[in-house]
Amino acid sequence: MDPFALIAFLGSITAGAIATVAGFGIGSVLTPLLGTAVGVKLGVALASIPHVAGTALRLWIVRADIDRRLLLGFGVTSAAGGLAGAALQSVASSPALTVVFSALLLFAGFGGITGYSERLRFGPRSAWIGGALSGFLGGLVGNQGGIRSAAMLGFSVRKQAFVATSTAVALIVDGARVPVYVATQGAALAANGSLILTCVAGVVAGTVLGTWLLRRVPEPIFRRVVGALLVLLGLYTLSTLAR
């Protein structure tokens, strides 16, 4: 195994484990990692394959815990907003938008760490609006999972339902975007087949590890764990502006 493939494998394990605990992370970790080797555009497409593999496996594991009411409200509008934002990403992206996105992640993250988010409770109407807005912003910036989990901190759901519902939304989005990547960049994806398989193997291993970890995260500190990961993602997103 060449050095970069080993790094990608270890990164994929980490990404799969984080996503299983927090409901996001595969795209956040793998897209910039793979982008360093193949460029951002192809990196997004490459990351989408292990993303859909890890998300499908995670959904199968936690399928019984999906909050169907939250999925039909927040989840569907979040997926629709995310696809709309992704369609406009090339014409609407800007440093200012990235700053706003990062600020929202940091606000939600610190809210989760401090417990402030537990005092925010969204109702059915807020679920539709919050889902559409968070999905749209995530699609514009290219990181839907983080902002989706940030918005979901405002709902009163247990950790299993949080992860399961977020995973179901992610798979809806994957089902729409992966065929587009295959149709438009199929040759490049095939040329990097071994790297994709390496990442898929790592994400699957990480998902299994993350399932074990999720069971051991106490319910009272789950939101603080998600909050800490959102803060890290927000800081990382801000750091990309300096490059």
Give per-residue pLDDT as tens, 36-48: 888 877 888 899 8
Kindly state the percentage of the chain with pLDDT values over 70: 89
Cα-based torsion angle of the residue sequence 232, 137, 223, 32 in order, rounded to the nearest 10 degrees: -30
For residue 91, what pLDDT is reported? 62
Tokens 């539709």 -> residue: 128
Burial class from Cβ neighbours inside 10 Å (0-12, 13-18, 19+) for residue 220 reads exposed
**13 or 242: which leads in pLDDT:** 13
Q: Average pLDDT in the 2-22 region? A: 94
Q: Are 144 and 136 in contact (CB under 8 A)?
A: no
Report the mean per-residue pLDDT for the chain: 85
> How many Cα atoms occupy the beta-carbon half-sphere of 236 within 13 Å?
14
4-37 burial by CB neighbour count: b if 16+ within 10 A, else e? ebeebbebbbbbbbbbbbbbbbbbbbbbbbbbee
Question: Which amino acid, residue 31?
Answer: T
For residue 92, what pLDDT is reported? 59
Domain residue spans of the chain: 3-242
For residue 117, what pLDDT is reported? 65
For residue 170, what pLDDT is reported? 86
pLDDT tens column, 76-113: 888 888 778 777 765 655 677 778 888 888 988 898 89
For residue 121, what pLDDT is reported? 61
Question: Which amino acid, residue 125?
Answer: R
For residue 124, what pLDDT is reported? 61
The span from the CA of 80 to the CA of 131, in Å, is: 9
Q: Average pLDDT in the 18-27 region? A: 91
Q: Average pLDDT in the 198-208 region? A: 97
pLDDT tens column, 117-173: 666 666 666 677 777 887 787 777 667 788 888 888 878 888 999 999 999 988 888
Q: Average pLDDT in the 3-30 region? A: 93
**What is the pTM for the complete model shown?**
0.85
